[in-house]
Amino acid sequence: MLPSRHPLFKALLLFPHVHGSEPPPSPTLSEPWRQISWGDNERDLQYVQEYQPENEEVKHIQVLLYGPVGSGKSSFINSVSNILRGRMSIPAGASATTSDRSFTTKYETHEIRKGRGNPKTFYPIVFNDIMGLEEGKKCGVHPEDIKLAMKGRVMEGYKFDPVSALSDSDPGYNQSPSPDDQVHALVCILSANTAEISESVLEKMRGIREAATDLGIPQMMMITKIDEACAETDKNLRNVYKSKYLKKKMKDLSSAVGIPMNCIFPVKNYRDEINLNDDMDTLILSALRHMINFGDNFIDKM
């Protein structure tokens, strides 16, 4: 070891990069690549609370969520409910464990109640939760059932059969769907900590997207579990749009699924928390506002 008075020792202190490897690059960008108004939740919350469809035949924006098993569809519904109701609530059953089987087995419609008391009133946005996509032709929700759901053909409570799709002779088939039964926004839910999506699941997703495109239904993507996937975001959620890892992940998923970057929103669902968190709410409300706008544009054209 060099003595502290040796000239080389002083040079190493002044220029540490001369000796050894370069310092690792920062995992975050110096500036966020997407702007978001942190701490300004009241504006977006008021927008959601006051929204009403102008089409008299439509009372609710119907949002259909789909994605691989364990991606966080039910948890996203619960997170939205928490924010709009101002307290923790669990309208959609969500699994507390990691599993390769879908926790949701039926076609479930989730309305979010406004306040308390009678008569009961609900927000004009409804989430439809379906069985998760799984590998193989005989596992998970049948892609044809998702296509029928988009047309409003699947009735509440229909139990999904991975082997065969719903037919027009089944009790769960809606023979006369109204404009209010149809899906107005299709939202893909993917986890940020997923290593890769299998080709069989991607094939199912492409078929769903093509059907939505044929129907003119707007499409979005929510990327969940961003805190689990990125240490910088786990430390501070406001690093979400500075994280190099998450930006690359969003680009990779955009390329794989075919949804453009400006229709992709990273969020952190409520999971371990017992109190509301302003930064988590900011990301979810930002996504929810765009979801309403996309659905409203579709309703205007019906």
Q: For 76-128, what is each residue's pLDDT tens digit?
A: 999 999 999 998 877 655 544 444 544 557 888 899 988 776 678 899 999 99
pLDDT category of residue 36 using cuts at 50, 70 and 90: very high
Q: What is the pTM of this model?
A: 0.86
- How far apart, in Å, are the Cα atoms of 256 and each of 68, 198, 206, 210, 266? 14, 11, 9, 14, 16
Task: Return the beta strands (E) in the chain as ranges.
Answer: 61-66, 108-110, 113-114, 121-122, 125-129, 185-191, 219-224, 264-266
CB 67 within 8 A of CB 59: no
pLDDT digits (tens, 9 = 90+) for 146-200: 889 999 999 988 887 777 888 888 888 999 999 999 999 999 999 998 878 888 8
What is the crossing angle of helices 143-150 and 199-215, to 10°?
Answer: 20
SS3 115: coil
pLDDT for 119:
74
Domains of the chain by residue range: 60-94+103-113+120-300
Identify the pLDDT of residue 133: 83
CATH 3.40.50.1000 fits 60-94+103-113+120-300, yes or no: no
